[in-house]
Amino acid sequence: MSEGYRTLAVESADHVLVVTLDRPDVMNALNTEMLRELMAVFERLQVDHGDLRCVILTGRGDKAFCAGGDLKERRGMTDETWQAQHAIVERMIRAILNCPLPIIGAINGAAYGGGCELVAAVDFAYASANARFALTEVTLGIMPGAGGTQNLTRAVGTRRAKEIILTGLPFTAAEAAEWGLVNKVLAPGELMNAVRATAARIAGNAPISVRQAKQSIHRGSQMSLWDGLAFEIEAYNRMVPTQDRQEGVNAFNEKRKPVWRGR
């Protein structure tokens, strides 16, 4: 997946895809082109992920992960143009949420507005100590519309989400970790190494198992306990007839590293 994107840098190695928001001159703000390219990357992964097993989403530079929507581009937009662009936003965030592969956020700096919503949409995230977060939409006459009211609430709880969204105030990486938005805070120079190590660990596990477990957690958390248990067993039974299940048991008994085929 190394096509010539203009606003993203996309590279893969060792079953891990790294997607970098690449507009550092404007703090990696989301313009229409970047929205379309993100949508294209993650919609393609739903159809064909090849030998990929994990995705890292990060931003270029050490100041900003993503400053949110590009307000310079949005200035003067008609209502119709704004809503047409937002339809792309909605499709893009759904593509991320529907990605079958685990997505780890490497939050290298400020994550404001739509950038913060991207953090809430990935499976989990590590943040640089200098990262700051905010959902500032209510200070601009709008509200979060890229899943922020839903995904942030699921990450940090209803009362904290209301405080964050209704005040529009920024918060630190340490607070993001304490509240559950990010899993770990690291020194800026250590962030990508830590995220890559975690991605490599995930990529080294049975790929069908990882995908099925992700879906069971993601969808089951939105069901009743009993429906979630039923969904879990459906996901589990998908692995019983696979070659990887047999390989895992054989490798354990033969005291060797398993060779996963993804089938």
Q: Where are the alpha helices (DSSP H) in the chain?
A: 32-47, 71-74, 79-97, 114-121, 153-156, 158-167, 173-179, 191-203, 207-220, 225-237, 243-253
Residue 82's pLDDT is 82
Q: Which of 33, 137, 175, 254 is catalytic?
A: 137
Phi, psi (degrees; rounded to nearest 5) at 63: -105, -40
Residue 213's pLDDT is 95
Q: Comparing C-alpha atoms, which of 193, 180, 182 is closest to residue 125?
A: 182
List domains and CATH numbers for the chain: 8-203 (3.90.226.10), 207-253 (1.10.12.10)
Kindly state the tokens that stand for 63.
């100041």
Residue 1's pLDDT is 56
Mean pLDDT, the chain, whole residue set? 94
Our answer to whether residue 254 is catalytic in this structure is no
Least confident range of 55-59, 189-193, 233-237 = 233-237
Residue 73's pLDDT is 82
User: What's the whole-number mean pLDDT along residues 21-46?
Assistant: 96
Least confident range of 158-162, 208-212, 257-261 = 257-261
pLDDT in tens, 114-129: 999 999 999 999 999 9
Q: Which of 11, 37, 90, 117 is catalytic?
A: 117
pTM (two decimals): 0.93
Residue 74's pLDDT is 81
Who's near 134: CB < 8 A, 6+ residues apart? 111, 112, 113, 116, 164, 168, 169, 170, 171
Q: Comparing C-alpha atoms, which of 114, 121, 110 is closest to residue 60?
A: 110
Residue 183's pLDDT is 98
Whether 8 and 35 have beta carbons less than 8 Å apart is answered as no
Whether the per-residue pLDDT at 172 is higher than 90: the answer is: yes
Our answer to whether residue 137 is catalytic in this structure is yes
Residue 2's pLDDT is 55
